[in-house]
Chain A
Amino acid sequence: MLSCNLAGTVGAATVVVLLAACGKPPPIDSVPTAPPACEILPPPLIMPDTITVAIFERVAPELAPWGHNAGEEQLFHHLYETLVTVDCVGRVAGGLAGSWRSEDDGRRWDFELSDDARFWDGGRVSARDVVESWADALMIDTGVDSVGVDGDRVVRVYFEEPQRDLPLIISAPAFSVAKRAASAVWPLGSGPYEVGFPDEVAPEGGPLGEPFSGAGRAIELRPAFGGERPVIRFIEASAKDARDLLEGPVDLLMTADPTVIEYASGNPRLVTVPLPWEKTYVLLSTARVLELSSDRSPAALPPEFLAVLSRDAVRGAARGSHAPFWWDDVYACRALADSGRARGGPRNTGVSSDPRRILYDADDPTARDLAERIVALAATDPAVSSEAAAIASAVPGLVGRLPVVVAQGVAQRELDRSLRAGDDLAYIVSLPYRPPLPCADLGRLFDRVPWIAGLGSRVSSALVPLVDTRATAIARRDKFGMICDWHGNVLILGETGKGD
């Protein structure tokens, strides 16, 4: 899936190498810089006046600064800042905070706001502004116990667990800072861009004077603080063919569609840049969990199987998943391990009357590909197929029994309902590849799949990793630069080379 262009290939290869090292906890760096290694697209010498970015989800300003879909995250990332930033390799740099320190063995972290932390209207960002921005984030399980202020400039964050290193969760989009004004559609931000029409979203239709395929609303971002940066126009595009957008005025879009990626790869005017690994797909099997509960040890899937699976079965950018996984050390989440969350076993116990389905989210093509491949292997004789033998070892009762297993795509709600009860034989679900706070995500997973919670240290064996996937950024060549951060968000580089 690499671009044919040499420069793009080298850049992408660099990113790939760097991203392969992802997963390690970042060191604390009190002198933050933006390392060039996270530059996934180097900025050209001459920047255009306008850059058009296509997003495929609808943006809800009322949810700012915390985006709930990929489009919102991309857009909000240019408008709102966090106290700190973490680059693609995990190096921490200052954002709104100029310095920080830990107290109480890492249970409390104090962040001092920098002097030039200001909103677009020039007003200084206060500690109270920060705390008020985090109201929604504090309502979910992030590991943050409470927050407070010390004067006007210091934000105090108390964590549930001691944090030896700076918790990366603080750099997550959920902890972006914004200030709501009563009458404004968009909250005030401190990022390098501000909304061009703060009180309303641009009217329907293409803003470029001519309609183009799949265009919806346009949201224009203008450089804040008088910066010399191009205007960024985000277009809410429908789910129609992204290639038409690239043929038109769109300069940047993110996609996992292999057809679009292949098209862009062969287009000399475009460059494709794989983004950080985003999701890990796992197989959850009620039969496997029952084996584990009986102290038996079903096998794991061999790496070569996963490599072939990712190469052949999945039609997007994928690789075979490999250890370590963030859910491996459940005892690191002490509170989780001690919580005694065992809530009974799955309803499907493998008797003949139980359904023999592999369920997946009908809107997830990767999950569909994986489920169908497993179904195909379930009907294959393990004696003649090593893949079938591998899957038979990993999932008891899947291969060679009647009735034959089928794959079924269902709506998310139905999937969640069945998962919670463990009604079906197996499930293909996607998990974050590298969640900011693994224990919180593990807790959410236990809530979603309660019948694995009682496995204790064997929880990690209940999840059978399959493939990791990621999106690809497709950009118009030599038009602008981009960097990506730890969370996979990209930032379009302006003339100064930093989105500050």
Chain B
Amino acid sequence: MTFRARLFVAFLLTVLLPMIVLALFVRREMTDRLTSQYERRVESLVAGIERDLAQEGERIAGSVVALRKLLAEDNRFRRAAVDRVENERRYLLDYAGEAMQVAGLSMLQIQDEDGRILSSGHFRNEYDRLDPDLPRLLASTSTGTALVLARAPDARFLALARVDSIRIGPKRFLLVAGLRVEPGFLTRLSRGADLTVALVYPGGELTSTVEEPDPRTDATGPSTEIRAARGTRGGKSVSEEIVRELTLPFIESDRGEVSLARLRVSHGLSELSALRRSVDRYFLVAGLAAALIAIVIASSLSSRISRPLVELADRTSRVDLDRLDVDFETARGDEIGVLSRVLSEMTGRLRASAVLIKDAERRATVGELARQVNHDVKNGLAPIRNVFRHLAELAANDPRQLPRVFQERQGTLDSSISYLENLASNYARLSSRGEPLPIDVNDTAHRVVMDRKGLEGVELLTEPGDLGGRRVRGDPVSLRRVLENLVSNAMESIDSRPGRVTVSTVLVPGEGDEPRIRITVADTGAGMSEDELSRIFDDFFTTKETGTGLGLSIVRRLVMDLGGTIRVESEKGKGSRFHVDLPATGAR
């Protein structure tokens, strides 16, 4: 992870973590408090509804009591209902309708003991219909008040009803009275926009949010229907709403039984959800702002801190014994400036040491070289001395054998002389000669390759790159010697035919604005091991049986004299690649 990334993550964590914790805490606290408040409201409303229902029941009861009193004193009713006077029949039929309106009721039917309807206020022409179950079931409820589905000419309607009776003369009459239960009734109970009161009864549901029903509905169902039932919650708070229920008796006169209707009071949590969403939104905005700020600060800090460090690291990576001219000068006064100056001093010391090392290396090389020359010359002279001793002995002892023995030993002399000549040539390559000249690298490589063509089974290729007219300034002979040596080594490394040796050039970026020319000699030969790679440029190290071991050390020396560097990439069994980077001069 980069320094910039670490900075960014650190800032984010520093700002966002506390913010997230705060948001979670605020949300939870808000939820808990509001939920408690809503629950209290619902509980309070349920209690209020219970009182209201009780009051409505009492109101109905009060109306019925008043009606009983009027009935008892009404002679026309007595004549019609008890005495069955025909002239008063219409009075009887109309009685319940007028009484219902006066009493403020929505439902009123007067029945005889058999349950026959004598007069109906909500359905005037329903007279003579038998309905014994309704008053019986109403009387069987514990509170005397129950919900019923009353029939009207155009549809059924839900009513809260009670039953009472009156005895007039020898006859007993039943009074079933009630108030219509409609969405407006429930809305009045709800007393608030957030609170919904729903009445769920067998066959339908009524809520305080439903509009007045269309009277042209299916007569089998209640006229106050629709809305999918929400399902019993059992008094628990759920994610969408807080629900409390109370039950009411419901008369199913068609089935002759009393069941239960549920009055469900619910408080929507939409307000709470809206609050939560607002809080989330604000915290999200704050989080994004914090992230943005973190990005900006991290970028700014990294620019001020990590970039110089990266630059320092880059410069430091270029430091090499062959490249000690890297500049660490800086005007910064901070820790990076201190580090830069330390590195600069270190580089200076390295440069001094490199000079000493080079001198020592040179001296060592010269010493080694002298020892090696001594060794090689002695090796070359030894056979010659031996031959001359043999010939001297023969000249002293048996001169007649001299021509034969000279004939026989002449090859040895030739071989030793050749060896000494070859040695002399190799040693001559150790020192450059000639003034520095602009060298066309592509041309030199081409010539070297052309001169070396003809080796059977080895393909020798050149891939001259676009050098933009740039050249290398130095001894052309040295460059040629370098290429000859590398090409020769490459071809000799290909022990299994066929193989390929490629000499390519390319312009690569160098330090500052000056590019460098890279000459690559690649082969598909045997490759080198790690150990061999580490010693490849050592003097007198060779992997060949007849090698002097000076080839690559000489190449390295020549490359350094040309102001360049050399490195090698190799893999055992696959081949090697020698890269020579030389400073390029401007285009012609």
Residues of A within 8 A of B (CB): 258, 311-313, 315, 356-357, 368-369, 371-373, 375-376, 379-381, 384-385, 387, 402-409
Q: Identify the closest chain B residue to A309 (Cβ).
A: B125
B153 at the interface (CB under 8 A from A): yes
B220 A406 Cβ-Cβ under 8 A: no
8 Å CB contacts to A: which residues of B215-231? 215-216, 218-220
Q: Report the minimal beta-carbon distance from A183 to chain B, rounded to whole angstroms.
A: 51
A315 B219 Cβ-Cβ under 8 A: no
Partner of A372, one of B90, B125, B220: B125
Partner of B153, one of A315, A375, A380: A375
Which residues of chain A are within 8 angstroms of B155 by Cβ–Cβ distance?
Answer: 406
A403 B127 Cβ-Cβ under 8 A: no
B218 A379 Cβ-Cβ under 8 A: no
In the complex the two chains form, what is the Cα distance from A489 to B90 in whole Å? 29
In the complex the two chains form, what is the Cα distance from A409 to B123 in whole Å? 14
8 Å CB contacts to A: which residues of B42-66? none
15 contacts between A and B (CB under 8 A): A311-B90, A312-B89, A312-B90, A375-B153, A376-B153, A380-B128, A380-B129, A380-B130, A385-B130, A403-B220, A406-B153, A406-B219, A407-B153, A408-B216, A409-B154
Given contacts A312-B93, A402-B220, contact A376 B154 (CB under 8 A): no
In the complex the two chains form, what is the Cα distance from A210 to B462 in whole Å? 132
Q: Identify the closest chain A residue to B124 (Cβ).
A: A372
Q: Report the minimal beta-carbon distance from B58 to chain A, rounded to whole angstroms.
A: 31
In the complex the two chains form, what is the Cα distance from A331 to B130 in whole Å? 45
B123 A406 Cβ-Cβ under 8 A: no
B126 at the interface (CB under 8 A from A): yes
In the complex the two chains form, what is the Cα distance from A371 to B130 in whole Å? 19
Q: Report the minimal beta-carbon distance from B560 to chain A, rounded to whole angstroms.
A: 107
Which residues of chain B are within 8 angstroms of A402 by Cβ–Cβ distance?
Answer: 220
In the complex the two chains form, what is the Cα distance from A369 to B215 in whole Å? 18
B315 at the interface (CB under 8 A from A): no
B429 at the interface (CB under 8 A from A): no
B219 A313 Cβ-Cβ under 8 A: no
B376 at the interface (CB under 8 A from A): no
Q: Report the minimal beta-carbon distance from A363 to chain B, rounded to whole angstroms.
A: 16
Q: Identify the closest chain A residue to B156 (Cβ).
A: A404
B539 at the interface (CB under 8 A from A): no
B538 at the interface (CB under 8 A from A): no
Q: Report the minimal beta-carbon distance from B77 to chain A, rounded to whole angstroms.
A: 16
B219 A403 Cβ-Cβ under 8 A: yes
Which residues of chain B are within 8 angstroms of A356 by Cβ–Cβ distance?
Answer: 219
Residue picked from B123, B125, B126, B151, most chain A C-beta under 10 Å: B125
Partner of A404, one of B123, B125, B127, B220: B220
B153 A371 Cβ-Cβ under 8 A: yes
A315 B89 Cβ-Cβ under 8 A: no
Residue picked from B89, B93, B126, most chain A C-beta under 10 Å: B126
B94 at the interface (CB under 8 A from A): yes
Partner of B127, one of A312, A381, A405, A409: A312
Q: Report the minimal beta-carbon distance from A265 to chain B, rounded to whole angstroms.
A: 12
Q: Identify the closest chain B residue to A370 (Cβ).
A: B125
Q: Report the minimal beta-carbon distance from A364 to chain B, rounded to whole angstroms.
A: 14
In the complex the two chains form, what is the Cα distance from A376 to B154 in whole Å? 10
Q: Identify the closest chain A residue to B130 (Cβ).
A: A384
Q: Identify the closest chain B residue to A358 (Cβ).
A: B153
Partner of A387, one of B94, B128, B216, B219: B128
Q: Report the minimal beta-carbon distance from A386 to chain B, rounded to whole angstroms.
A: 10
Extra A-B contacts (7), CB below 8 Å, given A379-B151, A408-B154 = A311-B89, A357-B216, A372-B126, A385-B129, A403-B220, A406-B219, A408-B215
Which residues of chain B are within 8 angstroms of A408 by Cβ–Cβ distance?
Answer: 154, 215-216
A376 B219 Cβ-Cβ under 8 A: no
Which residues of chain B are within 8 angstroms of A369 by Cβ–Cβ distance?
Answer: 124-125
Q: Report the minimal beta-carbon distance from B121 to chain A, rounded to whole angstroms.
A: 13
In the complex the two chains form, what is the Cα distance from A371 to B220 in whole Å? 18
In the complex the two chains form, what is the Cα distance from A379 to B149 in whole Å? 15
Which residues of chain B are within 8 angstroms of A368 by Cβ–Cβ distance?
Answer: 153
In the complex the two chains form, what is the Cα distance from A406 to B216 in whole Å? 9
Q: Report the minimal beta-carbon distance from B76 to chain A, rounded to whole angstroms.
A: 12
Residue picked from A312, A356, A387, most chain B C-beta under 10 Å: A312
Residue picked from A312, A376, A380, A402, most chain B C-beta under 10 Å: A376
A404 B93 Cβ-Cβ under 8 A: no
In the complex the two chains form, what is the Cα distance from A356 to B217 in whole Å? 11
A315 B90 Cβ-Cβ under 8 A: yes
Which residues of chain B are within 8 angstroms of A312 by Cβ–Cβ distance?
Answer: 89-90, 93, 125, 127
Which residues of chain A are within 8 angstroms of B219 by Cβ–Cβ distance?
Answer: 356, 403-406
Q: Report the minimal beta-carbon distance from B293 to chain A, rounded to whole angstroms.
A: 69
Q: Report the minimal beta-carbon distance from A320 to chain B, rounded to whole angstroms.
A: 15
In the complex the two chains form, what is the Cα distance from A406 to B151 in whole Å? 10
8 Å CB contacts to A: which residues of B76-132? 89-90, 93-94, 123-130
8 Å CB contacts to A: which residues of B154-168? 154-155
Q: Identify the closest chain B residue to A381 (Cβ).
A: B130
Which residues of chain B are within 8 angstroms of A379 by Cβ–Cβ distance?
Answer: 129, 151
In the complex the two chains form, what is the Cα distance from A357 to B219 in whole Å? 10
Which residues of chain A are within 8 angstroms of B153 by Cβ–Cβ distance?
Answer: 368, 371-372, 375-376, 406-407
B129 A376 Cβ-Cβ under 8 A: yes
In the complex the two chains form, what is the Cα distance from A313 to B124 in whole Å? 8
In the complex the two chains form, what is the Cα distance from A373 to B127 in whole Å? 8
Residue picked from A357, A372, A409, most chain B C-beta under 10 Å: A372
Q: Report the minimal beta-carbon distance from A409 to chain B, rounded to whole angstroms.
A: 8
Which residues of chain B are within 8 angstroms of A357 by Cβ–Cβ distance?
Answer: 216
In the complex the two chains form, what is the Cα distance from A404 to B127 in whole Å? 17
Given contacts A311-B90, A406-B155, A406-B219, contact A376 B130 (CB under 8 A): no
In the complex the two chains form, what is the Cα distance from A312 to B125 in whole Å? 8
B154 A407 Cβ-Cβ under 8 A: yes
Q: Identify the closest chain A residue to B215 (Cβ).
A: A408
Q: Identify the closest chain B residue to A313 (Cβ).
A: B125
In the complex the two chains form, what is the Cα distance from A369 to B220 in whole Å? 22
In the complex the two chains form, what is the Cα distance from A387 to B130 in whole Å? 13
Q: Report the minimal beta-carbon distance from A159 to chain B, rounded to whole angstroms.
A: 44
Q: Identify the closest chain B residue to A369 (Cβ).
A: B125
Q: Report the minimal beta-carbon distance from A273 to chain B, rounded to whole angstroms.
A: 20
In the complex the two chains form, what is the Cα distance from A356 to B127 in whole Å? 22
A406 B93 Cβ-Cβ under 8 A: no
Which residues of chain B are within 8 angstroms of A384 by Cβ–Cβ distance?
Answer: 130
In the complex the two chains form, what is the Cα distance from A289 to B83 in whole Å? 43
